[in-house]
């Protein structure tokens, strides 16, 4: 099987599973978000840990397991955010005592906030479902449009020292594609605040591209081409969700400001 065939099959399977669990919501979706957080943490530590093993022993693994248990258990969002802050602080202090770098603490924060944002944005209501589908539409359209516009137009590189393949034309095309896809989803869902959602889609598209560049920088910093080889033809989980989780956190913050930490989607897509 060629690499292209592997990529296509993997993409179809991942999209199908993701959309099915998004539709179900509740515990199945929280388990999905917990799995994403766990795999992000695994890949982050796999890239960042020195060859002689973890500087903190199994402390970092124990901390991420505490977070995953709280996420699956449905701890209220504000309490879970406090817990994440405590867990990250423990990792930071432990790393300072050991005289090591803070990569594991950073990975813990990145993985935990990724899982939390997705889980609590989905919530268990219609608004949460529409919000997550809006997020998917913007991020996926941004990726697709950026790829094809960048290939077709070319031009100056966006960040050649971080990701040599990305172009400024692709970034602009991705932003336009993300806004169009987000607005189409909003129209189909019957949302009335289209101007507001257009600006939100633009922000999410930009943040998703920054998230993509950030993950590329982490890989380059540690001399890795892919975050792992867990997904045939695609590399690792981080390689697939880097832009998504960054945009999810941005959308969660926007929704939190509008409607609170536990039901952020209500501020964007009121019933």
Contacts of 153 (CB under 8 A, 6+ apart): 167, 169, 170, 173
With bands split at pLDDT 50, 70 and 90, how would you rate the model's confidence at 149?
A: very high
Give the chain's radius of gyration (CA, Å).
18
Residue of 23, 34, 3 whose CA lies nearest to 114: 34
Predicted TM-score of the model (pTM): 0.93
Query: What is the C-alpha separation between 50 and 221, in angstroms, rounded?
Result: 13
What's the pLDDT at 223?
Answer: 87
101 or 213, which is more confident: 213
Query: What is the C-alpha separation between 248 and 55, in angstroms, rounded?
Result: 30
Query: What is the C-alpha separation between 206 and 224, in angstroms, rounded?
Result: 24
91 or 53, which is more confident: 91
Residues 209-266 have pLDDT tens digits of 999 999 999 999 988 888 888 877 667 899 889 999 999 999 999 999 999 889 999 9
Contacts of 13 (CB under 8 A, 6+ apart): none
CA count, 13 A, side-chain hemisphere, 153? 18
Q: What angle do CA 158, 113, 102 make, to 5 degrees?
A: 75
């Amino acid at each position: 099987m060629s690499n292209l065939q592997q990529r296509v099959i993997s993409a179809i399977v991942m999209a199908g599973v993701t959309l099915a669990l998004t539709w179900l919501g509740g515990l199945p979706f929280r388990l999905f978000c917990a799995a994403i957080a766990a795999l992000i943490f695994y890949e982050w530590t796999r890239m960042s840990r020195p060859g002689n093993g973890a500087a903190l022993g199994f402390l970092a693994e124990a901390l991420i397991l505490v977070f995953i248990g709280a996420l699956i258990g449905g701890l209220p969002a504000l309490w879970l955010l406090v817990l994440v802050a405590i867990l990250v602080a423990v990792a930071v202090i432990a790393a300072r005592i050991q005289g090591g770098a803070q990569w594991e603490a950073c990975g813990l924060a990145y993985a935990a906030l990724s899982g939390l944002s997705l889980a609590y944005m989905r919530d268990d209501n219609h608004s949460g479902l529409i919000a997550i589908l809006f997020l998917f539409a913007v991020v996926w359209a941004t990726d697709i449009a950026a790829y094809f516009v960048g290939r077709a137009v070319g031009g100056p590189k966006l960040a050649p020292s971080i990701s040599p393949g990305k172009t400024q034309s692709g970034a602009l095309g991705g932003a336009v594609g993300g806004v169009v896809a987000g607005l189409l989803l909003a129209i189909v869902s019957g949302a009335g605040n289209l101007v507001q959602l257009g600006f939100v889609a633009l922000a999410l598209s930009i943040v998703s591209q920054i998230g993509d560049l950030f993950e590329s920088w982490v890989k380059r910093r540690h001399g890795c081409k892919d975050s792992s080889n867990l997904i045939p033809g695609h590399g690792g989980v981080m390689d697939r969700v880097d832009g998504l989780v960054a945009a999810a956190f941005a959308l969660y913050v926007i929704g939190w400001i509008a409607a609170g930490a536990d039901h952020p989607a209500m501020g964007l897509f009121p019933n």
